[in-house]
Structure 1
């Protein structure tokens, strides 16, 4: 006789003695990743190795706390690492479309920004004061005086030559003109035209000679003007240098040890000296206030001396740990912003904005793979960055060819960062198989398990996790019974008595909800009662469809018997999932048989409502019957199996043992107790195999029987290998304890049929014959009889 399951096996209780504290406020917060030894070792390896391509993919089910655990794990490592440098973008005086990247020790970037802003203002004031001073005016005049005197002397000589030649040089609207003089009188064109031909020719010859002299003189004037301009420019540069060199010297003293910064400050000085006129002119009030207000006025020439700080690590302690939850291309790799000026979009290096990859440079960058996959261009840019070891700020539209206009091309920044992609394991295998470059740059896989051993050490760490959560969120602490209840709830999530779930999001939600009830009841701590209230309320909020289905069964709309005995009919158990709620649903399974050669027909399959796994289970059932009963005669039957009143499709093989029992009952004629429900798959040797959702299945049938009234005859039959998965509700355990509900674990079909019918299955003797009256004997006899009936009858001629 099969032994019934003891109530102590239906749920593994967490004893108080197993918890080494009276409440979570006795504990220290959790600092380590718990129950993930494999993942931790992979993380440590991937983070320690410095060779190329050893970035990490952290895989695991959603809700296992991967992201939070990794951020904390990396945070502890990062605090002992050096702080990476600041990065700035500055104007490139050789090519304004290619801003230069400037690297500075951490904290100096923000100082340079402020110092350069102050320098610009002080420089403009100093230049204005110098160039508007009386001393400058007098010295400039002195500089020009010699050139003016030279020009005057040249002009005097030219006028004397003109006078000697009988001409006067006068200035007109079109330039300098030569006018003839006769007898002390200026001759106009009309008077000139009536002179005798010989005199006119003589005057023209003298005018031509004087014109050549004038051209020579004017060339000399231009040379003198250029020399004067060069002298003034040199003088202006000397004045400007004197005005601003003291300001630049202080900057060089502070930043001169950074070679790139020293070169940049030198370039700034040269550019100021080359653009003094624009700088001084820009300080005058604009002639068009409306244009200035709308951003269309004359640009400030000193704007390009500003420093654009894109990475500021001044407040960091150690290396950065950046988790980008919205990994759009621009958010990760930066962009150049634009502003509208009179209908046109313009940009410059001061509008360059960094991305999270810049912020993480020198440390760690964490990216969720699901969001990464949804963001156009981000994954490809990430691969380029890792392969080239350079961070490039490039407009995605330009990269994809959507924009043909010229845009900024900032100098790339060296990229030294460990990238950690976090996500479902399915994405890992898709990328590994579908992208040849993926395996070159993400060589380390750290896989988070969704369960961990329910050891005393892990239970202690689980309690520390609870302590961390309540401290972080300001919840009430859990006392000992509350901790034990959460441990048991975790084992139920894991569907294993010897495991704890690592789906910390679900565990955390129950603690939060239990805290609500503790506060509502005025409790000092969260207790087992509060946890129980939270679990029951969570189920109640989501189980309306479950209740509706139960109501339909009770009202007879869905037929399920829980009393009496029937031939070829048995209660099967299925699991349904509606959103976050799963529940067990009893269903009637029936078998019908008749003569024929069609074998076992799966009605669900015939109606296109059966899934492949369910169809496989039916074929295995055929294999079982053939192996056991058709060694001397072929199976000569047509049988049909069906889940009665199933309208949404059936899949899975967890009902294959139930279908086997229904078939054996139909063949043997032995009735099956309808007070039982059955779950379990079967193999061709008649062994009953483990299935999923065993707790929900048992509870689904228990709730129906409880509603109708437990008689002490009700129960379920499960695979023996599923006993370790039992974490049943407390009311089910109590009913088992009181003998009002029964659970039978079985290992074979023979054990199960005996429980369901009360008739022995029967073991074959040495000749393969089963005992009289046994179920196997009755099935064998019926199949032999059917095979005999299906033999062709002999005709009279044959006799």
Structure 2
């Protein structure tokens, strides 16, 4: 029996706005910033609350369903991970400058330490030169120098006096001391010395050698006294520095006595200041330039080695950090060590260590988009290593893979206490679980967000509160009760289901903003249902250029689609096209040819590798149906060919299976198919028609073409009965059906489709395996019998004539 057309009421569900108890959304209290998602909320609360290792979260869902909104809402009052978050600093390791030391401090004290140390350095730069510029220091220094000079002078004067008494002078030369014979009070010239008797010359030479030996002893003694002077001077300087540095450092150290790591660092810094006190005493005028790469550069004292590099600081009594890392590169996650270019060389120090997202989120929560994370080289491995080891270790990728030879730092690792929340699409979670052995141990909580929610009175009220919240947050006009009902209907269209509402908050918000714009254009104080419908219509029209061009090609017969008459072996299928956010459907001519053969059905697209696996499955399914219906007793003497005409790209899906079968039966039976009808539907091996996707787009696509050519009152679309619950057609399509100018038929079996498209009964199989003669199946069976007869071997022509004559 041919199914009757669906009534207009079945084509679009209307919101029951009478059940809404408000006039405008101004009267409503804001609801949650999302729709439904109770299961996801429960999973998130569990994942945030549990403190065991490895219970990080993976939030599953498409963008726009409110994943981040709900996560951030739950984390607003979430407790810290472990103890309160700490401030973290890097300081110089005075024993090994390449391995800076990490120091953790209570929240707020890291900044205080940085300021205190900076002030300590400034005070030392003033106090140390001042300590050496006192009268007491100068007096003590003078006494040390006077004692040394007195010893030295007395020793040389004693030798000079004794030598002079024996006729030998002690001379001071640019290179040191020497002895020469005297002639009276004058030094002998070489000529005068040569005129002396040899005995006198020998005597003088011996005396000079004696005094030279004695002088060498005095010089050695002077060197000892000089070392003693240096030691005395060093002790004096140490005493002065100790007084200046010790007093200032003791005051600073007392503030951090409760932090052993800070106290130990201050002790090491104090010792280094004493060891390098000359850096503090040297004034800018005393600094001597040095030559570097042919240039004279004034060498500045390095006071930065005493500073504190505050990596992460927190305020006191602040909530735990919630960090969203939008660009999760390896360096942005685990931190990096920067370098400075100086005279063609790259240098670095602990002050150039920069924090990563893990440092900033330490003690709290880190939110990362999983797809962006996986697209960054080594970022996923770096995150896993940090979570496995519970520490943040800053390693340069260039050093790790020997890509650069620059000397870098090896900062001390920082303990990590963090809960990571990854956001990813539905298909990513099972892939990571299947292919990454570490994933399941590190991300034990999956929170799955639904794409849609049931359309009930409760969800309609929740949607109204959501509309109210968005309107207030975005400063939109209030939405009237009918407008909220129109928003619900559009949400059902977004979901492609008359029983459900789309949970995509982003798309809902965009719809509300656009409806508010059209309300402004219309001069409305509140947004009306007409404004919402206008916004939905204009959104479609803004992306309709490609659809219109293809439709124009059909209207100009560049793409051949018939919407009137009847043809054998030809049917109108329906295909959905997606271009970005624009989705539309257009009819697609499907043709079939049949001939004598061995039971094979050839899909032209599959033969040239333009058919997807699901479409190939559909073709094999209809082949099995044909073999079961017509070939159980004698096999099929049939070869058939199927083609999607004027299609030049890959096709996939099995929603055209019912249409392909109708085209095959039409070709086989010789019964023409109505071209004013289009059909969509999958089928199984028993001929039962199964649900397909995009049913609203497909109906509206064929309706658009028929309306462009002129509605005749006979045109329509055949859909699976299972898709009836998904119908949320545009109001203009519903009105055309109400006026009897367009029709929608829902079927459960392909035989119903055959009867609708041909006007003849499909024909039920009798107990003997036959079909009624005037049915489509009967004519198809007769043609197959004829194919079988035609396939039998024929006798020679002469024998056939003689046999005929005998029979005559």
The answer to whether the Cα contact below 8 Å between 1:112 and 1:307 also exists between their aligned partners in 2 is yes
| Pair 1:62–1:152, CA change in 2 (3 A) | same
Range moving further from structure 2, 78-87 or 466-475:
78-87
The structural deviation recorded for 1:311 is 0.7
Between the aligned partners of 1:161 and 1:377, the Cα distance in structure 2 is: 85
The equivalent of 1:402 in structure 2 is 403
Between the aligned partners of 1:200 and 1:169, the Cα distance in structure 2 is: 17
Between the aligned partners of 2:481 and 2:221, the Cα distance in structure 1 is: 105
**Structure 1 position 676 matched with structure 2 position 677:** yes
The equivalent of 2:354 in structure 1 is 353
The equivalent of 1:300 in structure 2 is 301
The structural deviation recorded for 1:695 is 0.8
The structural deviation recorded for 1:224 is 2.4
The structural deviation recorded for 1:303 is 2.3
The answer to whether the Cα contact below 8 Å between 2:288 and 2:298 also exists between their aligned partners in 1 is no
Between the aligned partners of 1:431 and 1:209, the Cα distance in structure 2 is: 94
Structure 2: unaligned runs, 5 residues or longer: 804-808
Between the aligned partners of 1:47 and 1:793, the Cα distance in structure 2 is: 82
Range moving further from structure 2, 721-730 or 150-159:
150-159
The answer to whether the Cα contact below 8 Å between 2:290 and 2:296 also exists between their aligned partners in 1 is no
**Structure 1 position 540 matched with structure 2 position 553:** no
Between the aligned partners of 1:469 and 1:170, the Cα distance in structure 2 is: 102
| Pair 1:650–1:217, CA change in 2 (3 A) | same
The structural deviation recorded for 1:155 is 4.0
Range moving further from structure 2, 102-111 or 607-616:
607-616
The equivalent of 1:521 in structure 2 is 522
**Structure 1 position 624 matched with structure 2 position 625:** yes
| Pair 1:29–1:139, CA change in 2 (3 A) | farther
SS at match of 1:717: strand
The structural deviation recorded for 1:656 is 1.0
| Pair 1:221–1:440, CA change in 2 (3 A) | farther
The equivalent of 1:424 in structure 2 is 425
Between the aligned partners of 1:546 and 1:49, the Cα distance in structure 2 is: 51
Between the aligned partners of 1:702 and 1:577, the Cα distance in structure 2 is: 18
| Pair 1:420–1:193, CA change in 2 (3 A) | farther
Deviations 1:231-276 (A, max 9, x none): 2222223323333444323322322211111112222222222212
The equivalent of 2:806 in structure 1 is none
Between the aligned partners of 2:387 and 2:524, the Cα distance in structure 1 is: 54
The equivalent of 1:248 in structure 2 is 249
The answer to whether the Cα contact below 8 Å between 1:113 and 1:306 also exists between their aligned partners in 2 is yes
Matches within 5 A, 1:178-197: 178-181=179-182, 185-187=186-188, 191-192=192-193, 195-197=196-198
Q: How many residues align?
A: 797
Between the aligned partners of 2:391 and 2:296, the Cα distance in structure 1 is: 35
Between the aligned partners of 2:195 and 2:541, the Cα distance in structure 1 is: 124
| Pair 1:176–1:524, CA change in 2 (3 A) | farther
Between the aligned partners of 1:338 and 1:468, the Cα distance in structure 2 is: 48
| Pair 1:340–1:642, CA change in 2 (3 A) | closer
Between the aligned partners of 2:485 and 2:192, the Cα distance in structure 1 is: 127
| Pair 1:601–1:286, CA change in 2 (3 A) | same
Deviations 1:48-68 (A, max 9, x none): 443443333333333334334
Between the aligned partners of 2:533 and 2:644, the Cα distance in structure 1 is: 35
Deviations 1:441-500 (A, max 9, x none): 334333333223334444433334334433333333433223222222222222122222
SS at match of 1:422: strand
SS at match of 1:135: helix
Matches within 5 A, 1:428-439: 428-439=429-440
The equivalent of 2:698 in structure 1 is 697
| Pair 1:240–1:10, CA change in 2 (3 A) | same
| Pair 1:140–1:620, CA change in 2 (3 A) | same
The equivalent of 1:716 in structure 2 is 717
Deviations 1:210-247 (A, max 9, x none): 34433333333223222222222222233233334443
Matches within 5 A, 1:434-445: 434-445=435-446
The structural deviation recorded for 1:573 is 0.9
The equivalent of 2:263 in structure 1 is 262
Range moving further from structure 2, 700-709 or 4-13:
4-13
The answer to whether the Cα contact below 8 Å between 2:34 and 2:466 also exists between their aligned partners in 1 is no
Deviations 1:647-694 (A, max 9, x none): 334322111101111222233333333221100011111111111111
Matches within 5 A, 1:135-534: 135-159=136-160, 162-163=163-164, 167-181=168-182, 185-187=186-188, 191-192=192-193, 195-284=196-285, 296-314=297-315, 317-534=318-535
Range moving further from structure 2, 210-219 or 257-266:
210-219
TM-score of the superposed pair, with normalisation by structure 2: 0.91
SS at match of 1:169: strand
Between the aligned partners of 2:219 and 2:474, the Cα distance in structure 1 is: 88
Range moving further from structure 2, 53-62 or 571-580:
53-62
The equivalent of 1:647 in structure 2 is 648
SS at match of 2:36: coil
Structure 1: unaligned runs, 5 residues or longer: none
The structural deviation recorded for 1:699 is 0.4
**Structure 1 position 590 matched with structure 2 position 599:** no
Between the aligned partners of 1:302 and 1:387, the Cα distance in structure 2 is: 38
Between the aligned partners of 1:25 and 1:230, the Cα distance in structure 2 is: 87
Range moving further from structure 2, 415-424 or 321-330:
415-424
| Pair 1:63–1:717, CA change in 2 (3 A) | same
The answer to whether the Cα contact below 8 Å between 1:699 and 1:728 also exists between their aligned partners in 2 is yes
Between the aligned partners of 2:117 and 2:275, the Cα distance in structure 1 is: 19
| Pair 1:564–1:388, CA change in 2 (3 A) | same
**Structure 1 position 554 matched with structure 2 position 555:** yes
The structural deviation recorded for 1:323 is 0.9
SS at match of 1:530: helix
The answer to whether the Cα contact below 8 Å between 1:295 and 1:342 also exists between their aligned partners in 2 is no
The answer to whether the Cα contact below 8 Å between 1:494 and 1:501 also exists between their aligned partners in 2 is yes
Between the aligned partners of 1:163 and 1:560, the Cα distance in structure 2 is: 134
The equivalent of 1:728 in structure 2 is 729
The structural deviation recorded for 1:697 is 0.3
**Structure 1 position 780 matched with structure 2 position 755:** no
Range moving further from structure 2, 730-739 or 577-586:
730-739
| Pair 1:245–1:595, CA change in 2 (3 A) | same
The structural deviation recorded for 1:201 is 4.7
Range moving further from structure 2, 96-105 or 21-30:
21-30
The answer to whether the Cα contact below 8 Å between 1:613 and 1:653 also exists between their aligned partners in 2 is yes
Range moving further from structure 2, 543-552 or 667-676:
667-676
SS at match of 1:773: coil
The equivalent of 1:99 in structure 2 is 100
| Pair 1:732–1:765, CA change in 2 (3 A) | same
The answer to whether the Cα contact below 8 Å between 1:370 and 1:423 also exists between their aligned partners in 2 is yes
Deviations 1:24-71 (A, max 9, x none): 333444457643344334434443443443333333333334334333
TM-score of the superposed pair, with normalisation by structure 1: 0.92
Between the aligned partners of 1:461 and 1:170, the Cα distance in structure 2 is: 110
| Pair 1:151–1:689, CA change in 2 (3 A) | same
Deviations 1:684-735 (A, max 9, x none): 1111111111111000011122223333322111111111222211211222
Between the aligned partners of 1:651 and 1:236, the Cα distance in structure 2 is: 88
Between the aligned partners of 2:36 and 2:194, the Cα distance in structure 1 is: 116
Between the aligned partners of 1:749 and 1:247, the Cα distance in structure 2 is: 95
The equivalent of 2:740 in structure 1 is 739
The equivalent of 1:749 in structure 2 is 750
RMSD of aligned Cα (Å): 3.0
SS at match of 1:77: coil
The answer to whether the Cα contact below 8 Å between 1:33 and 1:73 also exists between their aligned partners in 2 is no
Deviations 1:546-572 (A, max 9, x none): 112222222333332223333332211
The structural deviation recorded for 1:107 is 1.1
| Pair 1:500–1:83, CA change in 2 (3 A) | farther
Between the aligned partners of 1:383 and 1:208, the Cα distance in structure 2 is: 82
The structural deviation recorded for 1:307 is 1.5
Between the aligned partners of 1:354 and 1:281, the Cα distance in structure 2 is: 35
The structural deviation recorded for 1:793 is 3.5
The answer to whether the Cα contact below 8 Å between 1:593 and 1:667 also exists between their aligned partners in 2 is yes
The answer to whether the Cα contact below 8 Å between 1:32 and 1:73 also exists between their aligned partners in 2 is no
